[in-house]
Amino acid sequence: MPQPRFRLLKEILMETKPPIFQNPQMDGSSFYWEGKPNNKVGILLFHGFTATTVEVRPVAKFLNIQGYTVMGPLLPGHGVSPQDLNRVTYLDWVRAGENALIELKIKHEKVFVLGESMGGLLSLWLSAVYPDFIRGLLLFAPALKIPGLWKSNIFWPFVESKLKNNIDLSSPWQGFNVVPLRAASQLNRFQLQVLKKLPMVTTPMIIFQGKLDKTIDSSSSVEVLERAGSKSKQLVWLEESSHCILLDKQLAEAQTISLDFIKKLGG
């Protein structure tokens, strides 16, 4: 019997829809890798919204090879399902960040914090609240402003999630290809809270921003630079990088600059 010329729309959509969780075969769990015995520096790394630690593992491995202890927690709500992410608040991310920072600080005299996107916001928050705990901040595309994110405050009571734009299935990134809207509204609240705290951030920082970033408003990095209370701060523009700099083609360049920054601050 010949196949019908037209199939149900639902069937077609199921075939073309990208997977909700990209690259499930990768290890995106929390990690803690000890550095050289005499190295007193620990580096805390935070991934971004809807992502996992896959995002920060390449730079973590690089820094660990240099002798540093590196720690990357999988933030609450991430790594399993969009529904899980919709069940947490930004304060859950803050508490997880605080616990990780304290754990690392107990064992290491000097702590640096590195954050990608939302992880950059968490890094800034911790620096504002625990200025004496952190030697330096490394911020990769800090997600202070995301176009249209405010709409999640309107739609999350009615819509659970929405499909992301510009999905790249060839990317070695791991995470959700949908935006859980209640969680997105929490991210929006987190942005506003971090914005208020920026003048309280006095930690030396270096900010990396990709010129090809289509996820956040690139003026986010400029605003962090201008509003932060730090006397020592620098913004590095990467011409060939998109939002996820730590998985992009200029990773090696970013790693070298990051290592120099850490060494200059006594790391």
Q: What is the DSSP annotation of the chain?
A: -PPPSS--HHHHHHHHSPPSEE-TTS--S-EEE---TT--EEEEEE--TTB-GGGTHHHHHHHHHTT-EEEEPPPTT-SS-HHHHHT--HHHHHHHHHHHHHHHHHH-SEEEEEEETHHHHHHHHHHHH-TTT-SEEEEES--S--TTGGGHHHHTTT-SEEEPSS--TTSS--EESEEEHHHHHHHHHHHHHHHHHGGG--S-EEEEEETT--SS-THHHHHHHHH---SSEEEEEETT--S-GGGSTTHHHHHHHHHHHHHHTT-
Q: Is residue 177 part of a domain?
A: yes
9 has pLDDT over 70: no
Is residue 237 predicted with pLDDT exceeding 90? yes
CATH of the domain at 120: 3.40.50.1820
In a domain, 218, yes or no: yes
157-216: pLDDT as tens digits:
677 888 888 888 889 999 999 999 999 999 999 999 999 999 999 999 999 999 999 999
* CA nearest neighbour of 134 among 110, 165, 156, 100: 110
The encoded tokens of residue 79 equal: 């790594």
Q: Calculate the CA dihedral of residues 123, 125, 126, 130 and round it to 10 degrees.
A: 140
Evaluate whether residue 43 is within a structural domain: yes
Residues in CB range of 52: below 8 A, 6 or more apart: 26, 28, 29, 74, 78, 79, 174, 175
16 assigned to some structural domain: no
Q: Quick one: pLDDT at residue 267? A: 67
pLDDT at 11: 43
22/180 Cα distance (integer angstroms): 15
Tokens of 198: 């920026």
Residue that is written with structure tokens 């987190």 in the block: 190
pLDDT digits 0-9 by tens, 34-77: 999 999 999 999 999 999 999 999 999 999 999 999 999 999 99
Note the pTM of the prediction, 2 decimals.
Answer: 0.92
How many structural domains does the chain have?
Answer: 1
148 assigned to some structural domain:
yes
Q: What pLDDT, on a 0 to 100 scale, did the predictor assign at position 51? A: 98
Q: Inform me whether the pLDDT recorded for 14 exceeds 50.
A: no
31 band by pLDDT with thresholds 50, 70 and 90: very high
Domain-located, residue 121: yes
| Domain range enclosing 73 | 29-264
* Average pLDDT score over the chain: 92
Whether 12 maps to a domain, the answer reads no
